[in-house]
């Protein structure tokens, strides 16, 4: 590791960024430097602008685009102390699209299509607790509190701990899973007893989606969206759900109100209330 990269990592750690965020930020700055074939401290505002245009030409997602901006802003503003260059890095306006949500029947199809054992149990736990991908991958055996029927989520997004309810059915299935695989520390680990890589889980999920015959663009985060929507449909209030999901802002949780199928289905149909003539069934040709 070069001294400059080491300094960048230390600056991020001093501000208590999560290991995953540090990994992502370092990767983005390294990709920026490789694009120009120079050390990033030798590059400036013109190269930043050119790299942003390059990302747009590649049609990367707005999430990746803005992550790159965050990484470069931190690197130039904090590590290099060149804060005058930070305003030269504008964020992209991310389009607000409705989240993909599966119905309870589709979730059941997906879980049934997953391979039995570790793969299916991981997906069940992610859905049953509304966990993010990195949260479920970093669950430890000791985080399952059967006495209080709670799951302890350590260092979630924003480096916050929280508690989520544990269902009796999930506890029973987790006990069967533990007896079969005997994980020591990490609940869902590979052969080296380390957490499974996120990319591996996403590939397993995509194969399960295909086997289930689902046409929706489901990802691991879709299980979390589905959990939140189904909880609201079951009558859980928004403020309680906010705490369970670990959202900082209530407005983040409130967006799931727009995805509630039961609420939308109860709205009046204006077309049905119009005094329109009832369509007559078509008659077959050749008959009176």
Residues carrying an active site annotation:
132, 157, 221, 224, 247, 256
- φ/ψ of 144, rounded to 5, equals -90, 105
* DSSP E strand boundaries for 66-215: 144-145, 150-153, 162-165
SS3 content of the chain, % helix, strand, coil (to 5): 60, 5, 35
Residue located via tokens 């407005």: 251
Pairwise CA distance, residues 239 & 253, whole Å:
8
SS3 state at 258: helix
CB under 8 Å to 157, separation ≥6 — which residues?
132, 135, 246
Pairwise CA distance, residues 91 & 86, whole Å:
11
The answer to whether 96 and 105 are in contact (CB under 8 A) is: no
The answer to whether 137 and 188 are in contact (CB under 8 A) is: yes
Buried b (16+ CB within 10 A) or exposed e, 27-61: ebbeebbeeeeeebeebeeebbeebbeebeeeeee
Distance of CA 146 to the CA centre of its chain: 26
């Amino acid at each position: 590791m070069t001294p400059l990269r080491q300094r960048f990592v230390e600056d991020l750690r001093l501000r208590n960024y999560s290991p995953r965020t540090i990994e992502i930020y370092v990767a983005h700055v390294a990709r920026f430097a490789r694009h120009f074939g120079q050390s990033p401290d030798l590059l400036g505002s013109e190269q930043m602008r050119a790299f942003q245009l390059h990302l747009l030409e590649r049609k990367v997602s707005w999430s990746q685009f803005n992550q790159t901006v965050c990484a470069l802003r931190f690197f130039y503003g904090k590590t290099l102390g060149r804060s005058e260059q930070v305003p030269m890095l504008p964020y992209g306006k991310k389009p607000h699209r409705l989240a993909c949500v599966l119905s309870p029947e589709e979730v059941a199809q997906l879980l049934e299509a997953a391979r039995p054992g570790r793969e299916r149990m991981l997906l069940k736990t992610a859905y049953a607790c509304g966990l993010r991908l990195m949260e479920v991958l970093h669950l430890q055996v000791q985080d399952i509190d059967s006495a209080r029927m709670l799951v302890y989520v350590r260092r979630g997004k924003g480096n916050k701990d929280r508690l989520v309810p544990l269902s009796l059915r999930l506890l029973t299935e987790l006990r069967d899973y533990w007896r079969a695989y005997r994980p020591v520390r990490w609940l869902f680990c590979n052969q080296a007893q380390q957490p499974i890589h996120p990319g591996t889980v996403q590939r397993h999920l995509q194969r399960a989606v295909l086997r289930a015959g689902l046409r929706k663009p489901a990802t691991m985060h879709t299980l979390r969206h589905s959990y939140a929507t189904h909880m609201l449909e079951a009558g859980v209030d928004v403020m309680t759900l906010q705490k369970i999901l670990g959202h900082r802002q209530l407005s983040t949780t409130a967006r799931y109100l727009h995805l509630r199928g039961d609420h939308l289905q109860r709205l009046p149909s204006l077309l049905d209330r119009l005094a329109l003539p009832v369509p007559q069934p078509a008659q077959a040709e050749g008959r009176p």
